[in-house]
Amino acid sequence: MRVGLKSVLFRLVLGATLLGEEGVRLMGPFGQLVTALIGAVLLLWLARLFGRK
């Protein structure tokens, strides 16, 4: 089964949003920092991935 790029990006954004919401609820301000760092790493990874093509 082949998944389209739009579908992958949508799922990534949805997952990051849910991760951020739960991180803030579970850990407060520290959770917000952790999820922001995870999001930044994911965005940098995506930029690097698309930069190679």
pLDDT for res 3: 62
pLDDT for res 36: 77
Closest C-alpha to 50, from 3, 8, 2: 8
pLDDT for res 24: 66
Per-residue pLDDT of the chain (53 residues; tens, 9 = 90+): 466 777 777 777 777 777 767 766 767 777 777 777 887 888 788 778 777 65
User: Is the pTM higher than 0.85?
Assistant: no
C-alpha of 6 from chain center: 14
